[in-house]
Amino acid sequence: MLPLTKKNSTMTMPSTLANLASKKLILGSNSPRRQELLRGLGLEFVVRVHPIEEYLPPDLPAAYAAAYLSKLKADAFPGPLDANEILITADTVVIDRGKVLGKPSNELEAFEMLKSLSGTTHTVMTAVTLKDHKNSITLEDETEVTFRFLDEEEIWFYLKQYQPYDKAGSYGIQEWIGFVGVSSITGSYFTVMGFPLHLVYAQLKKWV
């Protein structure tokens, strides 16, 4: 039998992570989910949010909504960025039969959103804007999500227990309603959570 070898605890980190150590990443989002996911990449960052009115022009196609809002958040950031700073903003929308579902304004609206999504397939679009002192780019990703038919009592239970009023479409896929209600997804799970990590990492890799 061959002897077992110990993993090297001093293994060199990927060059991208090493290079990013000299950068100051600024996450322009209060979302605990985005903060958790960005932290999962092994990156240090600070959170700095400048609230905006999330208004969509009435003639804006639904497919452009997430990118529009993500860029709006980045453009609202005050003052120029320093040479070592990278700003990251993001926005997520749910598109149900051509209609944008943002964050619900109250419990009844949240109920109607989930009732509309029940038994159907919808699109979740997340856009991320990365900006430094020279460049700005907005990346987009979409995932198709299918819900089984949800009982009204299941919807009300979820709303009362989880109060998902800070979430587009009134649900978090990582919560109870996702466990029992989502029958399939096509695309990135993390895009539905609000942060397509593969796109963020790939772009950061290009910039460092």
91, 53 in Cβ contact below 8 A? no
Closest by CA to 85, choosing from 34, 41, 39, 27, is 27
Residues 6+ apart with CB under 8 A from 108: none
**Active-site entry in 91, 96, 151, 166:** 91
Closest by CA to 174, choosing from 105, 124, 208, is 124
What is the distance between the alpha carbons of residues 139 and 137, in angstroms, rounded to a whole number? Answer: 7
Instruction: List the structure tokens of 19.
Output: 């290079």
- 91 flagged as catalytic: yes
What phi, psi does 79 have (nearest 5°)?
A: 75, 160
4 sits in the region (left: phi over 0; alpha: psi -120 to 50; else beta) called beta
Q: Which residues are catalytic?
A: 91
